[in-house]
A = this chain, B = another copy of it.
């Protein structure tokens, strides 16, 4: 399924967007984005961080998205508005009111998302005039500017779209350096479609698609206070695809955006796909995959181009997944370095010089399989996260 990285939230019919510099970021870069659904449908679904400490915009948007209807999403970089108490929640509400006034829509049909430093109030004197400007600048070509405006430590903007031969399409923009649950470098995603999908099917499609994409991208195992993924449907294509077909396409767009996040993850030098085969259940496969993907010693070894399969096994051994240690196999980039619980081919045969690394573990205990994507742990990861307050 070929995803187009030049398309974005304004590729599907019925959407307008804008992205501009409101003065929230000291750098003067774009920091405010607005994505608006012109209908005819205003259906929406959303998923948020599972962190119990969540930001004010998450609290606001959970409420706004609860009825499955959204007119617009407003997003800012330059400040997470997290751990800012009742004042912070009021700031998110004021932002939504400003958008609703500009678009003449109910205030609860406006979702809000924020990313940046935790524990600092947003400069509302800059943000609110910025909202008015964004409303005035809305355009059917505004997607790329919106993608630019939500960047923080991202070095490139992330966009993707897919268009069906039947004439309907899905588009998205994303920012961040981690997984839906994890990554304090908040992941924000806005997805749009002009397909006519029933609200319940839209919600189910979003949960299924994020479950096999963003949920399996684990940059650093850290969970954000602000992660937000919003999907809006305009129905403007007049097409009503089969929900299964729609979910497959949505998952492809989400997976592509997830891999773009990973490729731009803070300070990373390798993209690592950890595939666990032969698991007794999908949960076991994910459990082992995540344990390996979050192991700092394994991640440092990959940075050092060292096919250290001992660290892979040690990480697998901390899980409760069903397997017998003496039946495990491990491959690094196609070389079977560990076979049936004993030393396999010589580790010197493994070449880890390329950015992409494939680690495969066969538990030899069932038929289930899952892949978790992560990065290596590098000097630059430490540098960015020691020097940048997020």
Contact = CB atoms under 8 A, between A and B. Distances in A.
B222 A315 contact: yes
Interface stretch (A159-167, A276-284, A374-382): A374-382
B386 A53 contact: no
Contact of A300 (B86, B347, B385): B385
Given A54-B317, A119-B310, A306-B386, A338 B379 contact: no
A192 to B, nearest CB: 29
Contacts of A316: 52-53
B118 A313 contact: yes
Contacts of A54: 317
17 contacts: A51-B318, A52-B316, A52-B325, A83-B338, A85-B342, A85-B343, A86-B342, A118-B308, A119-B309, A119-B343, A223-B315, A225-B313, A296-B296, A304-B385, A304-B387, A306-B386, A378-B382
Contact of A314 (B224, B295, B314, B378): B224
A311 interface: yes
Interface in A308-350: 308-311, 313-319, 325-326, 338, 341-343, 347
B301 A389 contact: yes
Contact of A118 (B117, B314, B379, B383): B314
A99 B300 CA distance: 37
Contacts of A308: 118, 389
A297 B390 contact: yes
A196 interface: no
The 5 A-B pairs with the shortest beta carbon distances in the complex, nearest first, are A118-B310, A53-B317, A304-B386, A300-B385, A85-B342
A41 B117 CA distance: 61
B311 A118 contact: yes
A119 B314 contact: no
Given A310-B225, A379-B379, A52 B118 contact: no
Contacts of A303: 382, 386
A338 B82 CA distance: 12
Given A53-B313, A311-B118, A316-B53, A296 B342 contact: no
B386 A382 contact: no
Contacts of A139: none
A207 B338 CA distance: 34
A84 interface: yes
A86 B83 CA distance: 54
Contacts of A383: 379
Nearest to A121: B343
A221 B53 CA distance: 22
Given A83-B338, A325-B53, A341-B85, A184 B317 contact: no
A109 interface: no
Given A119-B310, A297-B390, 8 more contacts: A50-B318, A83-B338, A118-B309, A119-B309, A221-B296, A225-B313, A296-B377, A304-B385
A52 B297 CA distance: 18
Given A53-B317, A225-B310, A325-B52, A220 B297 contact: yes
Nearest to A342: B85
Given A85-B342, A385-B301, A311 B184 contact: yes
Interface in A353-390: 377-379, 381-383, 385-387, 389-390
Contact of A386 (B83, B220, B223, B300): B300
Contacts of A343: 83-85, 119
A223 B317 contact: yes
Residue among A313, A318, A347 with most chain B CB within 10 A: A318
